[in-house]
Structure 1
Amino acid sequence: MAAATVLLATACGSTSKPVAGGPVAAEGSTSASLPTQDVVSGVQTDPALKAELPASIASRGTLLLGTTQPTGLSGLPHDGVDAAGKEVGLDVDLRNAIAKKLGVTWDTQYGTFQTIIPGTQNGKFDVGWGNFGVTKAREKIVDFATYLTDGQAFLGASSVSADKISTLADLCGYTVATSPGSTFQQILTNGASQCSAAGKKPYQVQYFSDSAPIFLGLANGKIDVLFGPTLSVKYDALHVPNTKFLGQISTTPVGVVTAKGSPLTKPLSDAVNALIADGSYAKIFAKWGVPDTEVKSSQINPDPGF
């Protein structure tokens, strides 16, 4: 259970989104340049979906949401805070559209990635949201309703000789930064023997729970490669000076988290599918420039493959 706990306590990223953008990225993105299309207000409540909610939730009219509190623009495209103090981002638009489709509002409670899934398990939150990748270990004690596909990808300093990383063996000899207690740590740990098997110098892994030292390390040559979520790494490659996208090695379904056996899982999944059907979902992903991360349909507890 200890191994599962490590994976369950963290998201695709980590404790404070160290691989989902950072202060350097924020310098290249201003509130003035953020997309401002209204892709939520036109979403209509579906009475049939609202009827799927437990009576206590429907009468209360709110869902307790456990998520992390964004600061600045460092978490984009997932989430951030604009100059006016308003939360913005793909995740913000999507979960607000889900709430409108279900005819409820979010009562947002902020926590850390380590506390969101346990809080969902113990009833502190009705729903957990934080780019949580679906894994078999996590599915043992929580349920998922998927809403996008992310992956595991690499951002390199411009000084790195490699132009593409397709396997972990391509990392041999590099210093790699990622987040502790994450799926990325698991992948790097499991693949560490590939370098010795190929007769190459092993890669060295450094763990950070904050993005600032990662981007500083990429800038000053102390870190060669960042290993993180594809959606965010692609965004960083466009906004962080002197970096380049080096490719991804795998994909992972990402989902809303609910307690195991929760009656909320199906309505949440059905709401995503309703947004897909009426076109609202595609508009949200187009707004944030990541249509290649869409799902064709939301699934409940899909087989993640690992």
Structure 2
Amino acid sequence: MHRRLAAATAFAALLALAACGNPDEIEATVADPAASGGTQKINTSPDQNRVRAEKVDAIAAKVPEAIRADGTLAVGVSGEGSPPLAFRADDDRTIIGVEPDIAQLVADVLGLELDLRPTSWENLFLVIRSGQNEVGFSNITVTEERKDIYDFASYRVDSLGWEVKKDGKIDKIEKPADIAGLTVSVGSGTNQEQVLLRWDAQNKAAGLAPAKIVYYQRPTEYQLALRSGQIDAYFGPNPSVVYHAAVSGETKVVGVVPGGGEVPAQIAAMTKKGNGFATALSEALNTVIQNGRYAEVLARWGLSTEAIPTSEVNPPGLPRK
């Protein structure tokens, strides 16, 4: 069953709620701040009618033979449900979201058929490293440590958001001191976990109360914990927390920080180190950036503020720990 939601997005502000429902079942109407007014409907049906691009022979020729031999592009995406990044459509099977849409554009430019392969966050890195999947499009932050093992082609700004209960007492989280003594949740093994641990260490060094950090495997688990008051806040990808706050009507976003906490970060397509694929990926991304298809995809999901002007191969990553 579809429900209709009217909301306005802003980069650092919460979407305004007009209806509530399960984020995997909702048909949303979101105002894109980069659009010329009005609202846009977010299609959560299996029939996505994705924005498509044309093959560019010169770029397709740069795809390593081992990857283009079967004519498909095996793409690892999140299978855990993180709208609007990657989540299951109303049929509970089809993977949709901004990450699959960008992967589709890249596959088109490279002349390959898109093969989406949902997996857990922890397994994503293993299947890319083993070559089982050829590239990952899963809100992956570029870090200097990850560059030791993987190659990257950037395509989006990384931003993180703080989500709290809507009727709670927390109105702002923008610095380490704001989380002193709170019970907070974050995804294990993520970049935001490193930011959170760094903030907590700074608080302890300053004599402030430590945060209690809680980990959950699935988004639905942290969402339930937030609603029930078991945790005070959740720290995750800004697109996901803004979307959930809008569709649930029970939470709000009270702070947005760069992906590195204090420093900017980039989201990138990730491939196995040294396989020669990153250049073709970056050139494909720059093609759709230049011809406007990339902007269409971001606008479709209300993420125009996270656009980058140019894709880079192995851009500067977050510093080593």
Secondary structure of 1:190's match? helix
- Unaligned 5+ runs, structure 1: 1-24
Please say if 1:111 is aligned against 2:119. Answer: yes
Amino acid at match of 2:278: T
Displacement of 1:136: 1.0
Amino acid at match of 1:302: P
What's the TM-score, normalizing by structure 2? 0.80
Equivalent of residue 270 in structure 2, options 228, 244, 257: 257
What's the TM-score, normalizing by structure 1? 0.83
- Unaligned 5+ runs, structure 2: 1-19, 29-40, 260-264
Amino acid at match of 1:82: A
Amino acid at match of 1:48: A
Please say if 1:217 is aligned against 2:225. Answer: yes
Partner residue, 1:60: 70
Please say if 1:44 is aligned against 2:72. Answer: no
- Percent identity over the alignment is 28
Conserved? CA contact 2:51–2:296, under 8 Å: no
The count of corresponding residues between Structure 1 and Structure 2 is: 278
Displacement of 1:118: 2.1
Partner residue, 1:3: none
Conserved? CA contact 1:39–1:283, under 8 Å: no
Q: CA distance change for structure 1 residues 121 and 30 in 2, over 3 Å: closer, same or farther?
A: closer
Q: Which has the higher contact order (CA 8 A, sep 6+)?
A: 1
Secondary structure of 2:287's match? helix
Tell me which moved more, 188-197 or 149-158. 188-197
Amino acid at match of 1:45: K
Conserved? CA contact 2:282–2:311, under 8 Å: yes
Partner residue, 1:282: 295
Separation in structure 1 between the aligned mates of residue 200 and residue 253 of structure 2, nearest angstrom: 22
Counting only pairs closer than 5 Å after superposition, residues 85-164 of structure 1 correspond to structure 2 as 85-164=93-172
Q: Deviations over 1:156-191 (max 9, x none)?
A: 112432322111211112111112222222222222
Partner residue, 2:281: 268
Conserved? CA contact 2:86–2:138, under 8 Å: no
Secondary structure of 1:235's match? helix
Greater fraction of residues in helix: 1
Conserved? CA contact 1:144–1:265, under 8 Å: yes
Conserved? CA contact 2:24–2:89, under 8 Å: no
Q: CA distance change for structure 1 residues 194 and 95 in 2, over 3 Å: closer, same or farther?
A: same
Equivalent of residue 192 in structure 2, options 184, 188, 196: 184
Q: Deviations over 1:101-141 (max 9, x none)?
A: 11111234443222222222222222123211111111111
Q: Deviations over 1:30-72 (max 9, x none)?
A: 354462474424x2111111111123444431122233335xx
Superposition RMSD in Å: 2.1
Separation in structure 2 between the aligned mates of residue 39 and residue 278 of structure 1, nearest angstrom: 16
Amino acid at match of 2:196: L
Conserved? CA contact 2:26–2:247, under 8 Å: no
Separation in structure 2 between the aligned mates of residue 50 and residue 258 of structure 1, nearest angstrom: 16
Secondary structure of 1:191's match? helix
Q: CA distance change for structure 1 residues 212 and 285 in 2, over 3 Å: closer, same or farther?
A: same
Partner residue, 1:203: 211
Conserved? CA contact 1:39–1:280, under 8 Å: no
Conserved? CA contact 1:120–1:259, under 8 Å: yes
Partner residue, 1:240: 248
